[in-house]
Amino acid sequence: MLQEQVVRNLESPVVGRSTSEVLSETPAYQGGWWDGRFQPVDTFAENDHLNDWEGADRLAYYRGYRDGLYVRRMLGKI
């Protein structure tokens, strides 16, 4: 169900893009999402990937991680 919604969103034409939609296209957000969704859950103090980002990219990574972790929890993978 969630995967179908994601595919529909990807296939739909872009009309008005929100900040969160643009943010989700950044490499930092995508890396954070991937880590939150698939990597072992640990604290940010132990997260080596977080050191790759600074400033606004670091915030994008945090948001991506949070969103990826949310999807993992929704699917019952935690």
30 within domain boundaries: yes
Amino acid (one-letter) located at 70: Y
Cα dihedral across residues 25, 30, 31, 36: positive or negative: positive
Q: Give pLDDT, residue 30.
A: 94
User: Rg for the chain (alpha carbons), in Å?
Assistant: 13
Give how many domains the chain has, as a whole number: 1
46 within domain boundaries: yes
Q: What are 5-60's pLDDT values in tens digits? A: 554 555 555 544 455 555 678 999 999 999 999 998 878 788 888 888 999 999 99
9 within domain boundaries: no
Q: Give pLDDT, residue 67.
A: 94
33 within domain boundaries: yes
38 within domain boundaries: yes
pTM, full prediction:
0.68
13 within domain boundaries: no
In 3D space, the residue among 4, 72, 2 whose CA is nearest the CA of residue 38 turns out to be 72
Q: Give pLDDT, residue 70.
A: 94
The residue segments making up the domain with residue 55 are: 18-74
Q: How confident is the model at residue 2 (pLDDT cuts 50, 70, 90)?
A: low
